Structure 1
Amino acid sequence: MLDKIIRFSLTQRVFVLVVFGVFLTLGMSAWKNIPIDAFPDISTTQVNIIIKAPGMTAEEIESQITTLVETELLGIPKKDILRSTTKYAITSITLDFKSGTDIYWARQQVNERLLSIWNQLPANIEGGLAPMSTPLSEMFMFTIENPSLSITERKHILDWQIRPLLRTVEGVADVNILGGETKTIQFSPDVIAMSNANITIDEIQNHLDAANINGSVGRINVGTESLIIRTQGRFQNINDVANLVVKNDTGKLYHLKDVGEISFNSLVRYGAVTKDGHETTEALVVALKNANTAQVVDSVVEKLNQIEKTLPKGTHLNVFYNRKNLIETAVDTITSALIQAIVLVIVLLAVFLGNIRASMVVATSIPIAVIITFFLMYQFGLSANLMSLGGLVIAIGMIVDSSVVVVENIISQLSKNTNLPRMHLMYRASKAIAAPVFSGTVIVIMVFVPLLSLTGLEGKLFSPVALTIVFAMCSALVISLTVIPVLASFIISNKNLDTPSYLVKLQQAYTNTLDKVLKAPSLTMIVFVIVLIVSGVLYTFLGKTFMPVLDEGDIIVQLEKSPTISLKESLDLDKQIEKALLANVPEIKQIVARVGSDELGLDPMSLNETDVFMELQPRDTWEVATKSEIEDKIRHILLQYPGINFGFTQPIQMRVSEMLTGSTGAVTAKVFGADITQLSKIAHDISLIVKKTKGSVDVQTTIIEGGDYLNVVLKPELASQFGMSVTELSHYLNIQVDGFKAAEIIKGKIKTPIMFANKSNSGQISSIKELEKLMVIMPDGTSLRLKDIADVTLKVGPALVERENAERFAVVATNVSGRDMVGFVEELQQNVNAELKLPSGYYVVYGGEFENQIRATNNLLTVIPLVLFLIVIILFSTFNSLAKAGLILANIPFALMGGILGLFVSGQYVSVPASIGFIALLGVAVLNGVVMLSHIESVKYKTKDLFKLVSNAAGDRLRPILMTATTAMFGLMPLVVATGPGAEIQKPLAIVVIGGLFTST
């Protein structure tokens, strides 16, 4: 069959070139339109429910909302993990589905079950399904800066000018507004005036509802016209609210302003944003799932440029995070490596072939294969990202292997048979080498196909790598058997085909050395065994980790303070820290920090939690050499603030960790159990053990206890005497503390809440005694102090309740520095088991990146035997001999030795990329063996002297084997020396393959 393909190509040369011309045109079009991103989509199918319950404690929300919703969701098909985080006034419930689940089906299932129990939940709640985004959808962040505008005015601009317009951009799921204050019209009741007027809050609410409305009546015909009649009562301004007429039970009329104060104010805040030590407002653009990030960011920037022109004079939109910057930097790193690899490979071709025309023929296989690969990537929905382009770089050196073997044999045939027709020699040379080229390339392809079976994060990351390599190698194989013979027939002549003198000398030196080696097989085997044993010993010293950390360029520090801290104190502490960092760490360009919860509730943090985002200066301006040194400087500053916990992460890294484990940190220890106090104690004990374990840094323990609560318990006798219920008292106290939304003024698209609240949005009550003295209006109009009708006591309760699959848990998280992650976790497990005895019903689960490493290792242990089995089948079908297949497989240990030595010398750990490098070696190392043994088989009739046969055949194949090995090695060299973001992930793979090729060749 292969000879028929070659014959057809050489007899229909123009047709073959036209066909490939069409594919090149399609590939160029695909290259221009292919989506570009930093990473493949590694997010799970995830549905998030956000429910806000103003005034409710974490325990109350858990018992009345979270537990009920979770129970309903547990029965959903294809469910993987159900997590929830419950804090004061909010709960976030996240449901992860199994890979491949349709997001629309998943959201429908969750929404149906949520709606079925919504009426069973407390009446004052609001929320539902969060926007259809992913944990990695946060792609663009900016603050609005104008010293002449208050944070209330800035938030108003974000809410009503910027957010609505950005939501019209294709691919934007929502725009999350953080910080600032929301303007309100506030009614502050005058208890004495209301008591004298005999008017209650409920009566005011009823009059408000009845007045603040526009009604539809119908139509009347006036002459030839039809006029629509409506009643109009909606409030237009603060005066309309103040002049609302309220009637008491005796029929006497009052204006609202007669029984309270009407003023402009703001909503109670559950979060804030600071920039460089000053308060500001922030917008965070969230992309839809599967959106083209680069295109969406471009559209957002274009829209913001239009919007900025319409904003008040002096207003500046300060962009501090743009995902496209990371995309461009990472893609530029890999693209640069790709270009360097192509140049190196072409130079090597010229050196080894010693013939410009032959080098040109082989070199054409690279752009053709690359462009066709882009076409296939586009057809299969792959984006051009760090991983897929990295796969293309890995394949560059191997793309030319099959073409090198074909062209080298064509040159050999043309130089030896000058009297035969050129086209016949082209056909004969290509046919002779077609079988080993085909089987060798198929082996390389088969090595990468099983990687598509990887699951979890490693599967989503490395499936694009495997697919790109498969596409490139398939393209290269077809090109070598069709286009290359055709181009050779047009370009390569019969002149100047002699092997360069330096290669002749190299060949002579090689055959002389090989003769000596063949005459001393025992010594050769002893050396081999010694090196093999040394490599095995070295392997035991190699640490294990999941994957090198991608340097995203920015730093996030997560701060955790006392759980009872107020928003004002938390903000003041954040400002102090920001100013200290800017003064002492010149590598920081700007700092934007957010404390507490965001408006949408996508990331519900408490008032004691702050994410500090640090944008760094250009690297060439740094006073230190590495990012870790900057982190050390930051760590030194933060240690000067007692009572805070902190941990280092990055924007994407943080969201990936939260997506996989529900918390941040390279390693997490989750303690499961029922009692909050016991969970908190066990987590504290584990954190002490973690801190003593070598390699732990930035240890954080989730503070689940420490929330202070004032319990107000009605005295039954007095409550019954005055007709006061718990519901009515809660409603009244809510006005005095947080306030509640009674109505709103609507003017165009702008809505202004009308709040019933105390005179200050932060309340006038600053002590327990003041609360006890608070005057409460009874249903009969009587005014009594709160302490006369209720007991007020201070209690300590949970500030946070986290659950996974309906079980409570506490978590201890840590990063690992200076040692491998797997070794760290193994030591930590031993220490915990030795030092800590868990009560009955409590258990610890270790997770984080370590969990990914274990799963990936188990998957690879399944993949490797499958790869070897496929290789044996192909070798047997090629040579019809298990002995010969075994002989070729004997080269694999040599390749593995080189990979191990490469990791040891470079100081890299055994990671998923390194493991995939070892799998790649299985195919690459076999390829040269196939070429060598095939040639030996083809010339064995020339002599019966086995040593001479092997020596001569090896000498004949030296050039193509050196070319395939060196082009593969030098094609990967740019990944080893690259320093930009993204190079960290591909570097272990490149080191393993280069080392393995060196020793196996």
Structure 2
Amino acid sequence: MIHKFIHWALDNPLIIILLSLALTCFGGYAFIHVNVEAYPDPAPAIVEVIAKFPGASAEEVERQVTIPLEVALSGMPGLKSSRSKSLFGLAHLRNQFEYGIDFFAARQEVINRLQFVDDLPPGVKPSLSPQSPTGEILRYTLRSPKDAAGNEIYSLNDLKSLQDWFLERQFRRVPRIIDLVSAGGTVKRYEVHPDPESLMHYGITLDQLTKAISDSNANVGGDYLALGQNMLNVRGIGLIGEGLDPMRAEAVLKSHDAREAASYLRAEEQRRIERIRQTVITAIEHLPVRVENVVEGGPERYHDDLVNRGVVVGNQPRMGRISLSHPVLNDSGEELRDENGNRIWVDEPEKVQGIVLLRKGEHSLPALHDLEDKIKELNESQGRMLPDVKIEPYYDRAELIAVTTETVRENLLMGMLLVTVILLMFLSNVRSALIVAINIPLALLFAFAVLYLRGMSANLLSIGAVDFGIIVDSSVIMVENIYRHLSTEEHVELTFKQRILMATQEVERSLFFTTAIMVCAFLPLFTMQGPEGQIFGPMADTYAFALGGALVLALTVAPVLCLYFFKNLKPAPDNALVRSMKTGYLRNLKFCLHHRWLTVGLMIAMVVATGLMLPFLGREFMPELEEGNLWIRGTFPINITLAEAAKQVDVARRVMRKYPEVKVVVSQSGRPDDGTDPTGFYNSEFFVPLKPRGEWPEVKEQFGWMRMFRERRPRTKEELISEMNAELSEQILGVNWNFSQNIRDNVMESLSGVKGDNSVKIFGPDLDKLEQIAEQVKTRLSAIKGIESVGVFRTKGQPNLEIPIDPEKCSKWGASVADVEDVIQTAVGGKPVSTMIEGERRFDITLRWPEDLRSSEEAILNIPIDLSNPQGDESGRSKEAVSATGANTPNLALAGSQITSAFNVVDTTPRRRLRDLVTPLDEKGRQTPQGKFARSGASTIYRENESRLIAVKFSVRGRDLAGAVAEAQNSTKDLFTSPYSAKWSGEFQEMEEAEHRLLMIVPVSLVLVFILLYLAFHNLLDAIMVFSNVLALSMGGVWALLITQTNFSISAAVGFISIFGVAIMDGLLLISYFNQMRLLGKPLEEAILLGAEKRVRPVMMTALTAIFGLLPAALSTKIGAQTQRPLAIVVVGGMLATLFLTRYLMPVLYSFYGHREPSASSGHMAH
């Protein structure tokens, strides 16, 4: 069948050429338009659930929210693990499914389960997070105009409102974008600060105030009214502000002056404040009692301090803060410097940030192009955003994609050029080298065409790790054999086309078997699962497409081009290079054959030496892809406030921006308001984009002999991290710093559930005991060489002001627990009583005690509480009067701590102070007057698969991961006794799981290869002999890793898999030659020498093309080269072993058994 296919191609050369041109055009189109990713998404389907429980402690969130949600979501099909965090006011659950489970199917399953959760506290509504490990494709901040004094014209409320209610919706409409995460700024709310004395003076309760505000802010419908032939809808308009949105008013959108727009917004806010103040609560003797009469400041002081007393525009409790430091640029985009040459920086402590998230599985580049258009449209259009507010991106995934793509492009072009030079050197015929060289880009274009048609993405590894020396082996074999036939005097009686056809017939069977063997060798790549499957799966597809395309091209295009290019080819001997190689090789081979036991002994010694060196070969999961940025995390004390954290973060930014390699510094303290990043004020993260390596200043002395070229050099990234870490630790004491990169940090957190590259998770029931064990683990890990940035994710240490309500006291004074809790919630935290509707925007109207009445434990305990059913009236009830609300209230004051006022124009409202209704707890949890209200509680409760845990995170630097963790495991194993256990997670866990899967898959692949070999030779010894070539090439790969001090990783494992096929192919062809010579009756040694001589040129060509095809990738240190470098090193080392080992090993081994009569079919592979 293959013979007929080649025959058809030679009979129809014009069709083949036209099809080749069509492939070139369509492949070129596909190459330009195929989606390219810097890094494939290695995570499985992960669905995150967020549930807010405002004001609740971590323990309450765990009991009332997290555990019910865990129970409801357990048992979902394909669910691998469920991890949760319970912290102040927030529950966050991360449900990780098995690889192969469709993300949207998993998401729908979670949605279905959440519909049946009915035992959550009132007002708690779980929602799904849009987060994805590699979904962050663009980050930006909002630039607000400043006045002459340098102050922001718009408030943080304005910018945050613009972000949440306008920009978020705009970006969601961009195709492929799932959501926008907003951080920084403040969420506006209208606050009413009641004055306790004024409430008591007028006999007004908090419930009355709440109801008055709520009832005065509504529209109602009165059905319709028929007036003649017309129908009119009857509506009662009572909304505060008429429900109009001042931010979308013409006075704002059409304004060209930001100050005018901001003044209009402030005036509209004051108009709404005035409306709230004028709201009537009740009437006393026909005189209205308004809100302004019972709030802080009252009506008399209202005009003296308009915006800061009584009713104000405030904000929700802040969960986080975004700050930005950036250098000042001139109009040309160059950094401005002072007289000392230092960069001039602008520090903006308060910014509003947006993080645009890509929908999982979508393509980045088209989305980024659409986002670029959307941002340009919003920035340039009039009347869309607030005047002079601009969107300023500071991180764009397109930059990383462009840099990595450029690295791959350089490596590919250099590799293709080197392969072409090698072909030219050995064939010494420009036309033959050109034929093979033409098939290199055609094979690449064929692969891109298939990727494009299947809607698949190309990425750094899928393109950059393809060795074109291996890909075009089939073309090398085909063209070399045709060239050899036509350059001799053999079969001159045949026509030119017949001689080409005869040459192709000789190799067609070997091409088929070698390609089949190559595919079987790549079987582990196709069957990989887990993160390594996500990363290397696209590479396997690209390799398969390129191999298939190269085979088709070798069977069609190569013979057709030979038909045209070799017409006037004259017989020519081998060139000087090939002749010298043959002479030297045959001389050395004769020596080895005459001293074969010495040769075998040396080989055994090398195998033993390699085996002895294996323990010194470090292991890691994957080399870290250089992203061109730093992601720095600082862990502060658990009880730090946002304000104090902000001060320390400002110091950290000043330290970071001192380094000339830093482009921008963006800091985030706390978490976004939507809870997508569950953490507290103690966690501060810094995103630090770095300048291109070519712009790093030379500040370090050069190493050793390199001083001959230049005395100074730039810092390495490791040196930058080390120096920055040391200075941060010196400037800010007691803070643990962790250094990673943006994408890597997100990926590792999604896979392990911990913010760190690696961690040891300690499981157990008691939080105090977990903290104790974690401290011991931290101490021991810190003493291990190579383990750095050790830190404990604290679960305890959060100070709480716990106010236990005493049922006996409540019963004595006639107060209900609900009354007391309602007052605590309202007075301290602020209780929404209504909603301010401003167009499409919604803002809470909140009751909250004035700050000086809730700023300390003593002030909170003195909060007055209205008694709905007063008891314990020591002085009796001699007289009753009717209050403004018609309720009976005592005319006489109660004894004890009862609050009274001589100016009460109605009567006294029965009240007690909060301290009269509560009793603190002692250390054993019993209510006693000797207890304390201030107690330490849990800050964050971590759970995994429904068990509590504490995590100790760490990083490994300057040492292999496996060795460091093995020492750490041995050092800490005595700390974990039942019911406490440990699990080593993160990159180490992924490495072990990947290696375990490879140990299962690779043997299956090799067995299939062995079966194909047996089918090719029908001889067990021949099959074993060829199989031994794998061992020799593997030794070359191992020594290449050892010499370059490169750790064994999944990338290196893929390199070994790549050379297995080449090793088998070379061995198969060589043994076939030997058998063919033996079948022709040649003596054993002569048969070996003749067969080896024939294979000198093709073996050298295939080996050197494979070496030089990936040599640029093996030597590259640019951004994007890190993940493919171990693969390239293994391939280069393995193919060097082919040149110096297998060319001698296999003939020597064959000499031990080659005297037997080979089977008739065992030489059919030779050509």
- TM norm. shorter chain > 0.5: yes
2:190 match: secondary structure? strand
Structure ID, larger Rg: 2
Find the counterpart in structure 1 of residue 262 from structure 2: none
Instruction: Report Cα offsets for 1:497-546 as digits up to 9, x if no partner.
Output: 52323322322332233223222212211221222222222222111111
The answer as to whether partners of 2:137 and 2:397 remain within 8 angstroms in 1 is yes
Find the counterpart in structure 2 of residue 144 from structure 1: 142
Find the counterpart in structure 2 of residue 298 from structure 1: 369
The answer as to whether partners of 1:437 and 1:931 remain within 8 angstroms in 2 is no
The question of 1:742 aligning with 2:856 is answered no
> Aligned partners of 2:837, 2:645: CA distance in 1, in Å?
34
List aligned pairs for 1:409-488, cutoff 5 A. Answer: 409-416=481-488, 417=490, 418-488=492-562
Q: Which amino acid in 1 is paired with 2:597?
A: S
2:1124 match: secondary structure? helix
The answer as to whether partners of 1:776 and 1:784 remain within 8 angstroms in 2 is yes
The question of 1:785 aligning with 2:913 is answered yes
The answer as to whether partners of 2:788 and 2:957 remain within 8 angstroms in 1 is yes
Q: Which amino acid in 2 is paired with 1:766?
A: S
List aligned pairs for 1:466-865, cutoff 5 A. Answer: 466-498=540-572, 499-583=574-658, 585-619=659-693, 620-622=695-697, 623=699, 624-640=714-730, 641-760=732-851, 765-779=854-868, 781-792=909-920, 793-834=933-974, 836=975, 838-865=976-1003
Q: After the TM superposition, which of the residue ranges 272-281 and 68-77 deviates more from structure 2? A: 272-281
The answer as to whether partners of 2:85 and 2:940 remain within 8 angstroms in 1 is yes
Q: Which amino acid in 2 is paired with 1:188?
A: H
Percent identity over the alignment?
Answer: 29
Find the counterpart in structure 2 of residue 55 from structure 1: 55
> Aligned partners of 1:30, 1:729: CA distance in 2, in Å?
69
> Aligned partners of 1:250, 1:117: CA distance in 2, in Å?
52
Instruction: Report Cα offsets for 1:112-168 as digits up to 9, x if no partner.
Output: 2222123x211132442223x422212211122334334333323323443232222
How far is 1:665 from its partner?
Answer: 2.6
Q: Which amino acid in 2 is paired with 1:745?
A: M
Q: After the TM superposition, which of the residue ranges 304-313 and 645-654 deviates more from structure 2? A: 304-313
List aligned pairs for 1:54-133, cutoff 5 A. Answer: 54-118=54-118, 120-131=119-130, 133=131
Instruction: Report Cα offsets for 1:668-699 as digits up to 9, x if no partner.
Output: 11110111111111111111111112211000
Q: 1:78 to 1:993 in 2, by over 3 A?
A: same
> Aligned partners of 2:586, 2:518: CA distance in 1, in Å?
28
The answer as to whether partners of 2:443 and 2:546 remain within 8 angstroms in 1 is yes
Q: Which amino acid in 2 is paired with 1:167?
A: R
How far is 1:20 from its partner?
Answer: 4.2
How far is 1:382 from its partner?
Answer: 2.6
The answer as to whether partners of 2:618 and 2:1048 remain within 8 angstroms in 1 is yes
Q: 1:806 to 1:691 in 2, by over 3 A?
A: same
2:178 match: secondary structure? strand
The answer as to whether partners of 2:1013 and 2:1023 remain within 8 angstroms in 1 is yes
Q: 1:764 to 1:383 in 2, by over 3 A?
A: farther
Instruction: Report Cα offsets for 1:208-232 as digits up to 9, x if no partner.
Output: 3333222344444555554433332
Instruction: Report Cα offsets for 1:355-383 as digits up to 9, x if no partner.
Output: 11111211121111111101222344431
> Aligned partners of 2:1108, 2:983: CA distance in 1, in Å?
44
The answer as to whether partners of 2:696 and 2:715 remain within 8 angstroms in 1 is no
The answer as to whether partners of 1:581 and 1:637 remain within 8 angstroms in 2 is no
Instruction: Report Cα offsets for 1:32-81 as digits up to 9, x if no partner.
Output: 33222112222221111111111100000101111111111112222111
Q: Which amino acid in 1 is paired with 2:133?
A: P
The answer as to whether partners of 1:403 and 1:484 remain within 8 angstroms in 2 is yes
> Aligned partners of 1:938, 1:5: CA distance in 2, in Å?
26
Q: After the TM superposition, which of the residue ranges 312-321 and 62-71 deviates more from structure 2? A: 312-321
So what's the TM-score if we normalise by structure 2? Answer: 0.82
1:268 match: secondary structure? coil
Instruction: Report Cα offsets for 1:848-871 as digits up to 9, x if no partner.
Output: 111111111111111221122111
The answer as to whether partners of 1:671 and 1:843 remain within 8 angstroms in 2 is yes
How far is 1:249 from its partner?
Answer: 11
List gaps (5 residues or longer) in structure 2: 147-151, 242-271, 296-309, 326-346, 700-713, 870-908, 921-932, 1140-1167
Within the candidate set 256, 272, 279, 1:244 is matched to 279
List gaps (5 residues or longer) in structure 1: none
Find the counterpart in structure 1 of residue 161 from structure 2: 156
Q: Which amino acid in 1 is paired with 2:953?
A: A
2:952 match: secondary structure? strand
Q: 1:947 to 1:249 in 2, by over 3 A?
A: farther
The answer as to whether partners of 2:853 and 2:863 remain within 8 angstroms in 1 is no
Q: After the TM superposition, which of the residue ranges 27-36 and 821-830 deviates more from structure 2? A: 27-36
Find the counterpart in structure 2 of residue 170 from structure 1: 175
How far is 1:908 from its partner?
Answer: 0.5
Q: Which amino acid in 2 is paired with 1:195?
A: M
How many matched pairs? 992
1:319 match: secondary structure? strand
The answer as to whether partners of 1:550 and 1:984 remain within 8 angstroms in 2 is yes
How far is 1:962 from its partner?
Answer: 0.9
Q: Which amino acid in 2 is paired with 1:114?
A: L
> Aligned partners of 2:284, 2:479: CA distance in 1, in Å?
103
> Aligned partners of 2:1070, 2:230: CA distance in 1, in Å?
96
The answer as to whether partners of 1:595 and 1:605 remain within 8 angstroms in 2 is no
> Aligned partners of 1:657, 1:252: CA distance in 2, in Å?
66
> Aligned partners of 1:896, 1:982: CA distance in 2, in Å?
26
The question of 1:398 aligning with 2:398 is answered no
How far is 1:998 from its partner?
Answer: 0.9
How far is 1:21 from its partner?
Answer: 4.1
The question of 1:181 aligning with 2:186 is answered yes
Q: 1:241 to 1:404 in 2, by over 3 A?
A: same
Q: Which amino acid in 2 is paired with 1:136?
A: T
> Aligned partners of 2:817, 2:6: CA distance in 1, in Å?
89
> Aligned partners of 1:383, 1:194: CA distance in 2, in Å?
67
How far is 1:613 from its partner?
Answer: 1.4
Find the counterpart in structure 1 of residue 1134 from structure 2: 996
More helix by share: 1
Find the counterpart in structure 1 of residue 925 from structure 2: none
So what's the TM-score if we normalise by structure 1? Answer: 0.96
> Aligned partners of 1:251, 1:721: CA distance in 2, in Å?
36
> Aligned partners of 2:967, 2:652: CA distance in 1, in Å?
35
Q: Which amino acid in 1 is paired with 2:495?
A: P
Q: After the TM superposition, which of the residue ranges 85-94 and 169-178 deviates more from structure 2? A: 169-178
The answer as to whether partners of 1:199 and 1:248 remain within 8 angstroms in 2 is no
1:712 match: secondary structure? coil
The answer as to whether partners of 2:181 and 2:672 remain within 8 angstroms in 1 is yes
> Aligned partners of 1:248, 1:973: CA distance in 2, in Å?
90
> Aligned partners of 2:854, 2:209: CA distance in 1, in Å?
24
2:42 match: secondary structure? coil
List aligned pairs for 1:947-958, cutoff 5 A. Answer: 947-958=1085-1096
> Aligned partners of 1:643, 1:509: CA distance in 2, in Å?
67
> Aligned partners of 1:424, 1:939: CA distance in 2, in Å?
24
> Aligned partners of 2:997, 2:284: CA distance in 1, in Å?
76
Question: Pairwise CA RMSD of aligned residues?
Answer: 2.1
> Aligned partners of 2:223, 2:494: CA distance in 1, in Å?
99
Q: Which amino acid in 2 is paired with 1:802?
A: Y
